[in-house]
Amino acid sequence: MIAKRIIPCLDVADGRVKKGVNFVNLTDVGDPVEIAAAYQQQGADELVFLDIAATNEHRETMATMVEQVSAQVFMPLTIGGGISSVADMQRILRAGADKTAINSAAVANPDLIRAGAEKFGNQCIVVAIDAAWDEQAQQYRVYTHGGQQATDLDAIEWAKQAVDLGAGELLVTSMDRDGTKAGFDTKLYQALGAAVNVPIIASGGAGNLQDFVDVFADTTVDGALAASVFHFGELTIADVKSALKESGVVVR
């Protein structure tokens, strides 16, 4: 059985790690290099860095910061935010990233997924999906530009298209649960798990140890991503892995 992954997420803006609730009201958390090193000591399986302002500010992702982090930590790094071309992907991978995450650019130009996968391999291409439940339409709607712009895309259908185009992994954030500590949106991940056959990272809503146990027990996701509970010391990676082991979940 493949071990499940516990992944801290570092949302970066202005060179600092930030965290908000439902994608707004951002609070400064600290220096990304220092925080990354601390998570390595805790035993995180991977790190995800998302430059949350890059797309809206029409600028490139922070290659220099990636170089600094990759010199300090030795676990897989996924970098996203402002990546809109194969050249951007190459720059970030050369800086030390293991995987590139694309969201808004993939929605605007789905062929970017195929182009990236053909050049670097499927394993390097993560499609990030920000989804919120649309009660009227009875579907999960895809949002872009850091959760600020609604699209007409159904999140489950978009996930299937992304995988068909070459995405090797999906990082799916429930905007409804982001920062709320109300638990992962298991309904969303159950639907995704039934639709695609690539690894899925669940993001949004982690508030306590049971939330991690539940998402792995109730869905087929391969990893659970969290920010607030780790950044503010409410839980440690060791706490989470211990609880999962006790529940029979295989972790590293």
Q: Choosing from 45, 51, 88, 130, which is the catalytic residue?
A: 130
**Is 222 labeled as catalytic in the residue annotation?**
no
Query: Looking at the domain assignment, is residue 129 inside a domain?
Result: yes
**Is 130 labeled as catalytic in the residue annotation?**
yes
Quote the pLDDT of residue 58. Answer: 47
* Domain assignment of residue 92, given as a range: 5-246
Query: Looking at the domain assignment, is residue 126 inside a domain?
Result: yes
Q: Strand, coil or helix: what is 209?
A: helix
Q: Are 184 and 215 in contact (CB under 8 A)?
A: yes
Quote the pLDDT of residue 226. Answer: 94
pLDDT tens by residue, 219-246:
999 999 998 899 889 999 999 999 999 9
CA atoms within 13 A on the CB side of 55: 22
Q: Tell me how many domains the chain contains.
A: 1
Higher pLDDT: 242 or 145? It is 242
Quote the pLDDT of residue 232. Answer: 85
pLDDT tens by residue, 96-115:
999 999 999 999 999 999 99
Give every CB contact of residue 145 below 8 A, 6+ residues apart in sequence: 55, 56, 104
What's the mean per-residue pLDDT of the chain? 92
Give me the DSSP letters along 68-95: HHHTT--S-EEEESS--SHHHHHHHHHH
Strand partners, 144: 149
Q: Express as a percent the part of the chain with pLDDT over 90.
A: 77
pLDDT tens by residue, 45-98:
999 998 876 554 444 557 888 999 999 899 999 999 889 999 999 999 999 999
Query: Looking at the domain assignment, is residue 240 inside a domain?
Result: yes
Is pLDDT above 60 for 184? yes
CATH classification at residue 84: 3.20.20.70
Query: Looking at the domain assignment, is residue 251 inside a domain?
Result: no
**Residue 20 banded pLDDT, cuts 50, 70, 90:** low
Q: Are 146 and 23 in contact (CB under 8 A)?
A: yes
